[in-house]
Structure 1
Amino acid sequence: MPSNVLPEIYRPSRRTVYELPLYACPVSAGFPSPAEDYLEGKLDLNQYLIKHPAATFFVRVTGDSMIGAGIHAGDILIVDRSLEPRDGKVVIAVVNGELLVKRLRMEKQKIYLASENSDYPPLVITDLMDFEVWGVVTNVIHPL
């Protein structure tokens, strides 16, 4: 089954604090202005991206089935297990022992996992499948 298989799972470090400057001014593509005048404070990305540290984990993506959602091979996803998986959310699911990233769809008493790439059909979840949602994807980290 072609899909985004997730081979690596990471836990966030709850002890790491790494604060970087946060500038409150808009970034100009034209004439530069003195940035020090706009220094707002420090930003710790752990606090900004991770709302529930004890329930959060990271996974690295392989495959291209979610490119329409801005999720590419090599990206790191931030996943929160404390959030309720709802229709339309991007989730990390386990189907028959395989970790997948897909958009959860629930319609007319049916559950299916939808790709964000027309090359991949939706996966209808049946009673014969071993299926579990591990968490809801909250953020995607990828290089430009």
Structure 2
Amino acid sequence: MIPVIAQAGITGFESPAAEYRQLGLDLDELLIDHPTAMFIGQAQGESMTGVGIFDGDLLIVDRAVAPTSPDVVVANLNGVFVCKLFDRKAMVLVSPGKHQQPYVLGEGDTFEEEGIVVHSVRMHRYTRQLRQCLR
């Protein structure tokens, strides 16, 4: 809500947007460091709420960034895509949501790191185009 004060007898007033100025921001410049090595995924579930990633958020994943420990990663674990904190030294996947147990990677596991989550975008309302893209 933009507060506008208009007194009786005034027939018009300046638009609330009159002081609006466009910021010189480009989301691609802010969020995309390696365009050919990045992809966008969608978070599902509540296991990453402890690091601020919620169900439905968009994840911007970079395959070219240097890994650290722990990183939030998107990985293929035994044929299932997961988003977890990855402790590379201990080879443990951590889900910082409520009631989540760490998963220790074992010899029988198939694990392939797809990339590191460098940003997440909270989706408060989905557009029809976004719903179609995420299908």
TM tier, smaller: 0.7 to 0.9
TM score, norm. by length of structure 2: 0.73
Preserved CA contact (<8 Å) 1:85 1:133: no
Preserved CA contact (<8 Å) 1:85 1:91: no
Letter in 1 for 2:71: K
Distance across 2 between alignment mates of 1:105 and 1:143 = 28
Q: Which of 88, 106, 111 does residue 106 from structure 1 map onto?
A: 88
Q: Percent identity?
A: 36
Letter in 2 for 1:127: E
Preserved CA contact (<8 Å) 1:92 1:101: yes
Say which structure is richer in helix: 2
Matched pairs, number: 112
CA shift for structure 1 position 138: 0.6
Structure 2 partner of 1:49: 31
Structure 1 portions without partners, runs of 5+: 1-29
CA shift for structure 1 position 40: 5.1
Superposed counterparts of 1:114-125, under 5 Å? 114-125=94-105
Superposed counterparts of 1:1-144, under 5 Å? 35-36=19-20, 41=24, 43-107=25-89, 110-144=90-124
TM score, norm. by length of structure 1: 0.69
Letter in 2 for 1:92: V
RMSD: 2.2
| Cα deviation code 1:88-131 (max 9, x no counterpart) | 11000111111100001134xx3011001131101111121111
